[in-house]
Amino acid sequence: MRMIKALTAIAAMVLIAACSSNSDQQQAAAATTTVTPGSVADFRQNVGDRVFFDTDMSTVNDQGRQTLNRQAEWLKKYSNYQVTIEGHCDERGTREYNLALGERRANAARQYLIGQGIPAARLKTISYGKERPDPVGSDEAAWARNRRAVSALQ
């Protein structure tokens, strides 16, 4: 009896997983075709709203620069947007230190964008430390995605 229950649970999980990945793909497919240029969705999907950092580091790496270069170009084109850059950390640090580290990361991304010609007045920062993980998880892959600076448009 218990065995059957467990099996149905697994089956359900597989189904959900299948569904979500399906819809992801659909969304992605839709994105490239139907997203309005200059929209928040356009920024997220075609420019990339986040850059990633190495453990305990707050310097923007090469890949991050490419993303920020694209962000700068896009922001110059659509100058009606204000940006709040959110700094985040993985969970492998203490709470207060991570708040400070997240701030340092957000600031590094901000400085880079200013260097690319975005007016400082358009760029605010906020740190969430390790309080807002995305994705939620406790493995190397999740941690790498969590050491991030996300440019949120307003």
| Binding site residues, another protein, CB under 8 A | 56, 58-59, 65, 84, 91-97, 99-101, 103-104, 106-108, 110-112, 114-116, 125-127, 131-138, 142
Q: Please, what is the minimum distance in Å from the beta carbon of residue 42 to another protein? A: 22
In a 10 Å sphere around its CB, with 0-12 CB exposed, 13-18 middle and 19+ buried, how is residue 95 labelled? exposed
How many residues does this entry show for the chain? 154
Q: How far is the CB of 103 from another protein (least distance, A)?
A: 5
| CB nearer to another protein: pick between 42 and 134 | 134
Rank residues 26 and 59 by Cβ distance to another protein and give the closer one: 59
Q: Quote the tokens at residue 133.
A: 């993980």
CB of 71 to another protein, least distance (A): 14
CA–CA separation, 129 vs 96, rounded Å? 8
Nearer to another protein, 43 or 133 (CB): 133
Q: To the nearest 5 percent, what fractions of the chain are helix, strand and coil?
A: 55, 15, 30
Name which of 42 and 124 has its Cβ closer to another protein: 124
User: Cis (ω within 30 of 0) for the bond into 37?
Assistant: no
- Amino acid at position 115, single letter: G
